[in-house]
Structure 1
Amino acid sequence: MVARRATSLSAAALTAVAVAAVPAAGQSEKPRPISESPLLWATVNVCDTADRPDTIGIRASMPGSGISAERMFMRFQVQFFSRTDNRWHNVGRGGDSGFLAVGSGRYLQRQSGRNFVIKAPTAGGYRLRGAVTFEWRQDGEVVRRARTRTTSGHGNTRGADPKGYSRASCIIR
Protein backbone atom coordinates (compact mmCIF):
# COMPACT_ATOMS: atom_id res chain seq x y z
CA MET A 1 0.00 0.00 0.00
CA VAL A 2 2.84 2.40 0.78
CA ALA A 3 4.49 1.57 -2.54
CA ARG A 4 1.21 2.22 -4.38
CA ARG A 5 0.78 5.55 -2.60
CA ALA A 6 4.35 6.59 -3.51
CA THR A 7 3.70 5.73 -7.16
CA SER A 8 0.51 7.79 -7.14
CA LEU A 9 2.30 10.73 -5.57
CA SER A 10 5.14 10.49 -8.10
CA ALA A 11 2.67 10.41 -10.99
CA ALA A 12 0.85 13.41 -9.58
CA ALA A 13 4.11 15.30 -9.10
CA LEU A 14 5.22 14.52 -12.66
CA THR A 15 1.86 15.69 -14.02
CA ALA A 16 2.17 18.97 -12.09
CA VAL A 17 5.68 19.53 -13.45
CA ALA A 18 4.59 18.74 -16.99
CA VAL A 19 1.62 21.15 -16.78
CA ALA A 20 3.86 23.89 -15.33
CA ALA A 21 6.32 23.42 -18.20
CA VAL A 22 3.67 24.07 -20.87
CA PRO A 23 3.54 27.76 -21.86
CA ALA A 24 0.26 29.60 -21.28
CA ALA A 25 -2.13 29.88 -24.22
CA GLY A 26 -0.85 32.33 -26.81
CA GLN A 27 2.72 32.19 -25.52
CA SER A 28 5.41 30.35 -27.36
CA GLU A 29 8.79 29.71 -25.89
CA LYS A 30 11.52 29.54 -28.50
CA PRO A 31 14.52 27.43 -27.63
CA ARG A 32 17.84 29.25 -27.63
CA PRO A 33 19.67 28.84 -30.96
CA ILE A 34 22.55 26.39 -30.73
CA SER A 35 24.88 29.25 -31.77
CA GLU A 36 24.10 30.99 -28.45
CA SER A 37 24.90 27.97 -26.28
CA PRO A 38 27.43 28.48 -23.46
CA LEU A 39 29.01 25.23 -24.70
CA LEU A 40 30.07 27.00 -27.93
CA TRP A 41 33.43 28.71 -27.41
CA ALA A 42 37.05 28.97 -28.56
CA THR A 43 40.21 29.98 -26.72
CA VAL A 44 43.96 30.29 -27.18
CA ASN A 45 45.41 27.62 -24.89
CA VAL A 46 49.07 27.66 -26.06
CA CYS A 47 51.13 30.79 -26.75
CA ASP A 48 54.83 30.69 -27.65
CA THR A 49 56.06 28.68 -24.64
CA ALA A 50 59.47 27.15 -23.96
CA ASP A 51 58.08 23.70 -24.83
CA ARG A 52 56.20 24.99 -27.88
CA PRO A 53 58.06 27.98 -29.34
CA ASP A 54 56.40 29.99 -32.13
CA THR A 55 53.19 28.03 -31.50
CA ILE A 56 49.61 29.14 -31.01
CA GLY A 57 47.15 26.53 -29.80
CA ILE A 58 43.44 26.98 -30.37
CA ARG A 59 40.91 24.86 -28.47
CA ALA A 60 37.16 24.91 -29.05
CA SER A 61 33.94 23.41 -27.76
CA MET A 62 30.67 22.85 -29.56
CA PRO A 63 27.33 21.58 -28.28
CA GLY A 64 25.67 18.58 -29.80
CA SER A 65 22.24 18.99 -31.34
CA GLY A 66 20.96 15.78 -29.78
CA ILE A 67 20.46 14.34 -33.26
CA SER A 68 22.62 11.25 -33.77
CA ALA A 69 22.35 11.47 -37.59
CA GLU A 70 24.13 14.82 -37.53
CA ARG A 71 27.93 15.01 -37.66
CA MET A 72 29.86 17.88 -36.10
CA PHE A 73 32.85 19.62 -37.68
CA MET A 74 35.26 22.39 -36.62
CA ARG A 75 37.58 24.55 -38.70
CA PHE A 76 40.42 26.35 -36.90
CA GLN A 77 41.91 29.49 -38.46
CA VAL A 78 44.69 31.70 -37.13
CA GLN A 79 44.28 35.46 -37.60
CA PHE A 80 46.87 38.21 -37.19
CA PHE A 81 46.33 41.83 -36.26
CA SER A 82 47.64 44.33 -38.79
CA ARG A 83 48.82 47.65 -37.37
CA THR A 84 48.65 49.08 -40.88
CA ASP A 85 44.85 48.97 -41.10
CA ASN A 86 43.97 48.04 -37.48
CA ARG A 87 42.12 44.92 -38.63
CA TRP A 88 42.35 41.16 -38.19
CA HIS A 89 43.27 39.00 -41.20
CA ASN A 90 43.49 35.26 -41.76
CA VAL A 91 47.09 33.99 -41.75
CA GLY A 92 46.31 31.79 -44.74
CA ARG A 93 47.06 28.22 -45.66
CA GLY A 94 49.51 27.46 -42.84
CA GLY A 95 47.01 28.77 -40.30
CA ASP A 96 43.92 26.87 -41.47
CA SER A 97 43.06 23.33 -40.37
CA GLY A 98 40.26 22.81 -42.86
CA PHE A 99 37.12 21.15 -41.50
CA LEU A 100 37.79 18.37 -39.00
CA ALA A 101 35.19 15.80 -37.93
CA VAL A 102 34.67 15.83 -34.15
CA GLY A 103 31.78 13.39 -33.66
CA SER A 104 28.10 12.74 -33.69
CA GLY A 105 25.50 15.37 -32.85
CA ARG A 106 24.10 13.06 -30.18
CA TYR A 107 26.86 14.14 -27.77
CA LEU A 108 26.14 16.92 -25.31
CA GLN A 109 29.46 18.60 -26.16
CA ARG A 110 32.63 17.90 -28.13
CA GLN A 111 36.00 19.61 -27.84
CA SER A 112 38.95 19.65 -30.19
CA GLY A 113 41.98 21.79 -30.88
CA ARG A 114 44.95 22.44 -33.14
CA ASN A 115 48.41 23.89 -32.71
CA PHE A 116 49.95 26.06 -35.41
CA VAL A 117 53.61 27.05 -35.72
CA ILE A 118 53.93 30.66 -36.86
CA LYS A 119 57.45 32.00 -37.34
CA ALA A 120 57.72 35.52 -36.02
CA PRO A 121 59.60 38.22 -37.92
CA THR A 122 63.10 39.10 -36.72
CA ALA A 123 61.86 42.40 -35.30
CA GLY A 124 58.69 42.78 -33.23
CA GLY A 125 56.13 40.01 -33.25
CA TYR A 126 52.65 39.03 -34.29
CA ARG A 127 49.46 39.40 -32.30
CA LEU A 128 47.39 36.34 -33.13
CA ARG A 129 43.96 34.97 -32.30
CA GLY A 130 41.81 32.11 -33.45
CA ALA A 131 38.56 31.99 -35.37
CA VAL A 132 36.60 28.75 -35.33
CA THR A 133 33.78 27.77 -37.66
CA PHE A 134 31.41 25.08 -36.42
CA GLU A 135 29.17 23.00 -38.69
CA TRP A 136 26.51 20.42 -37.98
CA ARG A 137 25.92 18.27 -41.08
CA GLN A 138 23.35 15.67 -41.97
CA ASP A 139 23.65 13.55 -45.11
CA GLY A 140 26.54 15.75 -46.23
CA GLU A 141 24.49 18.97 -46.04
CA VAL A 142 25.18 21.78 -43.53
CA VAL A 143 22.11 22.12 -41.31
CA ARG A 144 23.61 24.58 -38.79
CA ARG A 145 26.67 26.80 -38.76
CA ALA A 146 28.26 29.10 -36.19
CA ARG A 147 31.52 31.02 -35.98
CA THR A 148 33.30 32.50 -33.01
CA ARG A 149 36.63 34.06 -32.16
CA THR A 150 38.85 33.12 -29.26
CA THR A 151 38.04 34.49 -25.81
CA SER A 152 39.61 34.03 -22.39
CA GLY A 153 38.22 32.29 -19.35
CA HIS A 154 37.97 28.70 -20.57
CA GLY A 155 40.57 27.20 -18.26
CA ASN A 156 41.25 23.53 -17.78
CA THR A 157 41.33 22.81 -21.51
CA ARG A 158 43.19 19.73 -22.69
CA GLY A 159 46.65 20.49 -24.03
CA ALA A 160 46.92 23.93 -22.42
CA ASP A 161 50.50 25.12 -21.92
CA PRO A 162 50.83 26.08 -19.14
CA LYS A 163 47.98 24.13 -17.55
CA GLY A 164 44.82 26.25 -17.30
CA TYR A 165 46.03 28.80 -19.90
CA SER A 166 43.13 30.49 -21.76
CA ARG A 167 43.41 33.81 -23.58
CA ALA A 168 41.69 35.72 -26.35
CA SER A 169 44.94 36.40 -28.23
CA CYS A 170 48.64 35.64 -28.24
CA ILE A 171 51.85 37.43 -29.18
CA ILE A 172 54.51 35.38 -30.99
CA ARG A 173 57.92 37.07 -30.71
Structure 2
Amino acid sequence: MFFVSGNPGCTGEAIIESGIARSPDTSNYDTPEEEEEESETDSVDSPKEARNKAKAKAKTNMQPKNRSSRPVDVDSASIRYGFDNMTKLLSSRKQAVQTNGDAGVVQSIEKLAASIELSNEMQQQTTASILQSIANFQQQNAETMKEMLHHLQQPRSG
Protein backbone atom coordinates (compact mmCIF):
# COMPACT_ATOMS: atom_id res chain seq x y z
CA MET A 1 0.00 0.00 0.00
CA PHE A 2 1.39 3.44 -0.94
CA PHE A 3 0.75 6.75 0.78
CA VAL A 4 1.43 10.27 -0.34
CA SER A 5 4.10 11.86 1.84
CA GLY A 6 3.18 14.79 4.04
CA ASN A 7 6.47 16.42 3.07
CA PRO A 8 6.40 17.17 -0.65
CA GLY A 9 9.75 17.43 -2.44
CA CYS A 10 11.35 20.69 -3.41
CA THR A 11 9.85 20.42 -6.87
CA GLY A 12 6.33 20.57 -5.54
CA GLU A 13 5.68 16.98 -6.57
CA ALA A 14 4.32 14.62 -3.98
CA ILE A 15 6.73 11.90 -2.91
CA ILE A 16 5.12 8.50 -2.84
CA GLU A 17 6.40 6.26 -0.05
CA SER A 18 5.40 2.88 1.21
CA GLY A 19 4.40 2.59 4.85
CA ILE A 20 2.27 4.50 7.29
CA ALA A 21 1.28 8.07 6.51
CA ARG A 22 2.84 10.56 8.89
CA SER A 23 2.25 14.15 9.79
CA PRO A 24 4.37 16.85 8.16
CA ASP A 25 7.66 17.50 9.92
CA THR A 26 7.74 21.11 11.08
CA SER A 27 10.69 20.75 13.43
CA ASN A 28 12.86 22.84 11.09
CA TYR A 29 10.65 25.90 11.56
CA ASP A 30 10.13 27.92 14.71
CA THR A 31 6.91 29.56 13.57
CA PRO A 32 4.36 28.96 10.80
CA GLU A 33 5.38 32.31 9.26
CA GLU A 34 8.95 31.05 8.73
CA GLU A 35 7.59 27.93 7.05
CA GLU A 36 5.50 30.05 4.67
CA GLU A 37 8.41 32.41 3.94
CA GLU A 38 10.69 29.53 3.02
CA SER A 39 8.13 27.87 0.80
CA GLU A 40 7.55 31.16 -1.04
CA THR A 41 11.26 31.81 -1.56
CA ASP A 42 11.90 28.29 -2.82
CA SER A 43 9.65 28.55 -5.85
CA VAL A 44 11.71 27.21 -8.76
CA ASP A 45 10.88 26.90 -12.44
CA SER A 46 12.08 23.37 -13.11
CA PRO A 47 12.49 20.18 -11.07
CA LYS A 48 16.17 19.99 -12.09
CA GLU A 49 16.88 23.42 -10.61
CA ALA A 50 15.08 22.41 -7.44
CA ARG A 51 17.15 19.25 -7.11
CA ASN A 52 20.40 21.16 -7.68
CA LYS A 53 19.35 23.75 -5.11
CA ALA A 54 18.47 21.04 -2.60
CA LYS A 55 21.81 19.28 -3.18
CA ALA A 56 23.72 22.52 -2.69
CA LYS A 57 21.80 23.27 0.50
CA ALA A 58 22.41 19.75 1.82
CA LYS A 59 26.11 20.05 1.00
CA THR A 60 26.45 23.32 2.90
CA ASN A 61 24.57 21.84 5.85
CA MET A 62 26.81 18.76 5.91
CA GLN A 63 30.18 20.52 5.55
CA PRO A 64 30.34 22.12 9.02
CA LYS A 65 29.36 18.80 10.60
CA ASN A 66 32.17 16.97 8.80
CA ARG A 67 34.74 19.59 9.76
CA SER A 68 33.83 19.60 13.42
CA SER A 69 33.92 15.83 13.77
CA ARG A 70 37.51 15.45 12.58
CA PRO A 71 39.91 14.44 15.37
CA VAL A 72 42.15 17.41 14.57
CA ASP A 73 39.28 19.84 15.09
CA VAL A 74 38.26 18.13 18.31
CA ASP A 75 41.84 18.35 19.58
CA SER A 76 42.10 21.94 18.41
CA ALA A 77 38.89 22.87 20.20
CA SER A 78 40.08 21.10 23.34
CA ILE A 79 43.43 22.88 23.25
CA ARG A 80 41.75 26.21 22.57
CA TYR A 81 39.46 25.61 25.57
CA GLY A 82 42.50 24.81 27.73
CA PHE A 83 44.33 27.95 26.64
CA ASP A 84 41.24 30.03 27.32
CA ASN A 85 41.08 28.61 30.84
CA MET A 86 44.80 29.28 31.36
CA THR A 87 44.34 32.84 30.16
CA LYS A 88 41.47 33.36 32.60
CA LEU A 89 43.50 31.87 35.45
CA LEU A 90 46.57 33.99 34.73
CA SER A 91 44.55 37.17 34.34
CA SER A 92 42.74 36.52 37.64
CA ARG A 93 46.10 35.98 39.38
CA LYS A 94 47.46 39.15 37.83
CA GLN A 95 44.44 41.06 39.12
CA ALA A 96 44.93 39.55 42.58
CA VAL A 97 48.56 40.71 42.62
CA GLN A 98 47.52 44.17 41.49
CA THR A 99 44.88 44.42 44.23
CA ASN A 100 47.38 43.32 46.90
CA GLY A 101 49.87 45.80 45.54
CA ASP A 102 53.49 45.83 46.64
CA ALA A 103 52.65 44.41 50.07
CA GLY A 104 51.83 41.02 48.55
CA VAL A 105 55.04 40.98 46.52
CA VAL A 106 57.17 42.01 49.50
CA GLN A 107 55.53 39.37 51.67
CA SER A 108 56.19 36.71 49.02
CA ILE A 109 59.84 37.75 48.75
CA GLU A 110 60.24 37.61 52.54
CA LYS A 111 58.78 34.10 52.63
CA LEU A 112 61.09 33.03 49.82
CA ALA A 113 64.16 34.49 51.57
CA ALA A 114 63.25 32.75 54.86
CA SER A 115 62.77 29.49 53.00
CA ILE A 116 66.16 29.84 51.32
CA GLU A 117 67.90 30.56 54.64
CA LEU A 118 66.29 27.54 56.28
CA SER A 119 67.28 25.38 53.33
CA ASN A 120 70.90 26.60 53.55
CA GLU A 121 71.06 25.77 57.27
CA MET A 122 69.70 22.29 56.66
CA GLN A 123 72.20 21.75 53.85
CA GLN A 124 75.11 22.84 56.07
CA GLN A 125 73.99 20.45 58.82
CA THR A 126 73.66 17.61 56.32
CA THR A 127 77.09 18.35 54.85
CA ALA A 128 78.68 18.37 58.33
CA SER A 129 77.00 15.07 59.15
CA ILE A 130 78.22 13.48 55.91
CA LEU A 131 81.79 14.73 56.51
CA GLN A 132 81.71 13.28 60.05
CA SER A 133 80.50 9.93 58.68
CA ILE A 134 83.29 9.90 56.10
CA ALA A 135 85.89 10.65 58.79
CA ASN A 136 84.55 7.83 60.99
CA PHE A 137 84.60 5.44 58.04
CA GLN A 138 88.19 6.35 57.17
CA GLN A 139 89.26 5.85 60.79
CA GLN A 140 87.58 2.44 60.95
CA ASN A 141 89.10 1.51 57.61
CA ALA A 142 92.59 2.52 58.81
CA GLU A 143 92.20 0.49 62.01
CA THR A 144 91.02 -2.54 60.03
CA MET A 145 94.02 -2.27 57.68
CA LYS A 146 96.43 -2.09 60.65
CA GLU A 147 94.89 -5.21 62.15
CA MET A 148 95.16 -7.05 58.82
CA LEU A 149 98.83 -6.08 58.44
CA HIS A 150 99.50 -7.14 62.03
CA HIS A 151 97.93 -10.56 61.39
CA LEU A 152 99.83 -11.00 58.14
CA GLN A 153 103.17 -10.15 59.75
CA GLN A 154 102.80 -12.60 62.64
CA PRO A 155 104.56 -15.90 62.10
CA ARG A 156 102.29 -18.78 61.50
CA SER A 157 102.39 -21.62 63.86
CA GLY A 158 101.68 -24.76 62.33
Per the TM superposition, whether the score is higher than 0.5 is no
Smaller-chain TM-score range? Answer: under 0.3
Q: Which has the higher strand share?
A: 1
Bigger CA radius of gyration: 2
User: TM-score, normalization: structure 2?
Assistant: 0.24
More helix by share: 2
